[in-house]
Structures are given as structure tokens and as C-alpha cells.
Amino acid sequence: MSDVIRKFTRSVPDWRPRVEPIKLEDATPEQLEALQVTPSNTKISAYVLTLAHDVETLKVRSPLFNGIMYDKGGLSREERELGALAASMVNHCIYCAAVHASRHAQIAKDTSVTDELFAKGTKADLSPRNRAIFDFAHALSQTPSEASPEQMSALRAAGLDDAEILDLILSSALFGWANRLMHVLGDPVRKGSEQ
Amino acid sequence: MSTETLTKSTIVELSAIPEGSAVAAAVDGRSNIMALSQSTEDAVLKPLETGAWSHDIRAALAARIAALNGETALADRYCALIEDASIADLADPLRSGKAQGLEKTCDFMDKVAVQTRDVDAADIKALQDAGVSDADIVRLCEINAFMAYQVRVLAGIRLMKEGRA
């Protein structure tokens, strides 16, 4: 398994499942509906085909995921990505970390924050606001959560209002979820080495 | 499985947020997320297609993960859904699951919940070797993953509330 990636990177790898994904030709009507397969959309990722084993959850999970990461108002998209990244770093989910570090860099039009985090981890040199966000999300992602009243105060001191704090809780908690699928059910592998 | 239905929102109910507070306003602003979170809880705990994991086993495993995260009220809530007494002690993280023939399953669930970063291919292989189907492995991961989310949303909202007291 030498093609498995073990270090954090912003280059999004391929993902190779450790279980057999469903085969599109064998999919039930309910699975096809959850996979949103249409004549113009037949390219479904191995990850989604794997989750289709539990179609009832897959169906409700996608709108929840999109709502937490993209709904208007509250915390900026860039900062939601930082919450997602903190969780993914705690859980060492290389794939999720790559996707959300690269999205952070795209939205921020700046790679310095994610460069710094991947190089120095929790010792990264961050702006006070990013520091408060990352530290809270990192602590909330421990099991059990280690997020403290002091860290909550630090978020407020950094200027986050309640709507923003709730969005940070939701986006980092969501990656406690996503990491336990992505990191557990498959391996991040070099592009092109899947199959 | 008890006939008691899961209430409108486990997160909102257990959080007991004071009405009219800033935290309540924030949660109201994301009422769609709270509703979708509940739909997912229902899909994970009470699916029509259960695979190898009955509603009782799911409730017990959910309670087990809540307990591992120190979320006692949530663990109690899920324990109350278990009808089959022979399943009930799976909810206790100190029990191995041997009595139910679910030792490997409990080992896996505990590791995914607590030592997520250390999970590797051998952990999946151990379940497959124990005869657990790939679809049932995905189902276990979804239970675990959802619980990871729910316990952290509860922990986070609790801190929001405390900071406003």
C-alpha cells in the first residue's frame, strides 16, 4: 500500500474504498434517486457509491452537509472551512484535510494559513481570529470534547457573534462525522493509482 | 424498539436553551439544520432497512458512543429506546459485547469513536473476517459518524449557553 498518502497536503488525492462500493448497474431505484443519477450525471465517486450501502442516511446527509457548509449568513465560508480542517487534522483524515485546505486557500485567495497549519499544526502562527477559531474547533474535535469556556470566551473576544459561533460548532462537528466515514472506509491514494 | 417516537429535535430539546436568549436566536436562525439533523438521527437510528443492526442494537451503540463522549443525558435518552433487555448492556462502554456476540463490533465502534486517527485497513478487515458484510460496515460507520456530530453540537451549544449565563 505504498501509494497511500500519510502526510497532510492541499493536493486532493484519490480515495480508494476498503469495502466494495455498490455497482451502479445493481442499484435500487432508491439508491439511484439518492445518488442523483441522471442521463447527464452518471459519474458517481467511489465514496458516494460506498455510502449508498446505507441509502436512507445518504439521502438526508447531503442536504445537511450542504446547509452547514454553504447556507447564507453567519460564519464566512472561509472560516467554516477552517473548522472543517481543524477536525480533519485531529482525526488525521488526509482526504478531508486536503479538500478543505484547498477550498480555504481558494476562498481566501491565500495559501499562507493552510501552509502554516500543515507545517506547524497547533503551533501555527495565526491571526487572533483564526487562532480562536482553530483552537476551539480543534478542542471540540477531541473525544470527549476538550473545548473550554476560555476558548468560547476567546471566540467572542475575537469578534464572533452567536450565529457565527454556532456555525463553527456545526462545521467542525460535521467533520467529526465526515472524517469517520472518509478516513475509516477508505485510503487517500496518489491521483491515478486508484483501481 | 419503544413506540416512543424521537421528538422534534434531540439537540434542541437536550440543549434546553433559554427562550429569548442570543443562543436561542442563533439556533432559530439555523432551524433548517436542526430539522435535517433530526432527519438524519431518524435515518441512522430507525431506518426501514436495518441490515444486521436492529433498532435496539443501534440505540445501544448510539448510547455507548454518547457515554464515551461523556454525554450522559443523551446516552440515557438512547438507552430508553432499547426494548430487548439482552441488548441493553451494549450501551455500557465497559461491556465488551461478548454476551451478544458483538465483541468485534464493539471494538470497532469504540476505536472509530475515540481513536479515529488510528483506524486503518486492518480494522475493516477484522470486521470482514468476523463475517460482517460491507453494507453492514458502512451502516456501523454511519451510526458512529452521526453520533460524533451530535455529541459535539450538544457540547458546543452547552458552552455557548454557559458563556452567556
Domain ranges of chain A: 1-195
Tell me whether B72 touches chain A (CB under 8 Å). no
Given an 8 Å threshold on Cβ–Cβ distance, is A147 in contact with B156? Answer: yes
Which of A98, A91, A104 minimizes the C-alpha distance to A177? Answer: A91
Chain A contact probe: residue of B11, B48, B142 with most A CBs at under 10 A: B142
User: Amino acid identity, residue B165?
Assistant: A
Which of B62, B89, B67 minimizes the C-alpha distance to B146? Answer: B62
Q: How many CB pairs (< 8 A) connect A and B?
A: 179
In CATH, what number does A1-195 get? Answer: 1.20.1290.10
C-alpha pair distances (Å), B36 with each of A19, A99, B89: 27, 24, 30
Chain B contact probe: residue of A5, A6, A19 with most B CBs at under 10 A: A19
Q: What is the pLDDT of residues B93-146, one digit of tens each?
A: 999 999 999 999 999 999 999 999 999 999 999 999 999 999 999 999 999 999
- Euclidean distance between CA atoms B29 and B25, whole angstroms: 6
- Using CB atoms within 10 Å of the CB of residue A72, give its burial: 0 to 12 exposed, 13 to 18 middle, 19+ buried: exposed
Neighbours of A44 (CB within 10 A): 17
The dihedral over CA atoms of A65, A71, A77, A81, expressed in degrees to the nearest 10, equals: -10
DSSP reduced 3-state for A73:
coil
* Bond into A13 cis (ω within 30): no
The domain defined by B31-164 folds into AhpD-like (1.20.1290)
Provide ipTM, 2 decimals: 0.96
Place of cell 442516511: A57
Per-residue pLDDT of chain A (195 residues; tens, 9 = 90+): 579 999 999 999 999 999 999 999 899 999 988 888 777 777 889 999 999 999 999 999 999 999 999 999 999 999 999 999 999 999 999 999 999 999 999 999 999 999 999 999 999 999 999 999 999 999 999 999 999 999 999 999 999 999 999 999 999 999 999 999 999 999 999 987 654
B117: closest chain A residue by CA: A91
Partner A, chain B 4-63, Cβ-Cβ below 8 Å = 22-23, 25-27, 29-30, 32-33, 36-37, 39-40, 43-44, 47-49, 51
- Euclidean distance between CA atoms B118 and A92, whole angstroms: 8
Q: Cα A96 from chain centroid?
A: 4
Given an 8 Å threshold on Cβ–Cβ distance, is B142 in contact with A187? Answer: no
Domain boundaries, chain B: 31-164
| Residue B163 distance to chain A (closest CA, Å) | 7
> A43: Cβ–Cβ under 8 A, 6 or more apart, which residues?
none
Determine contact, residues B117/A92, Cβ cutoff 8 Å. yes
The dihedral over CA atoms of B87, B91, B92, B94, expressed in degrees to the nearest 10, equals: 80
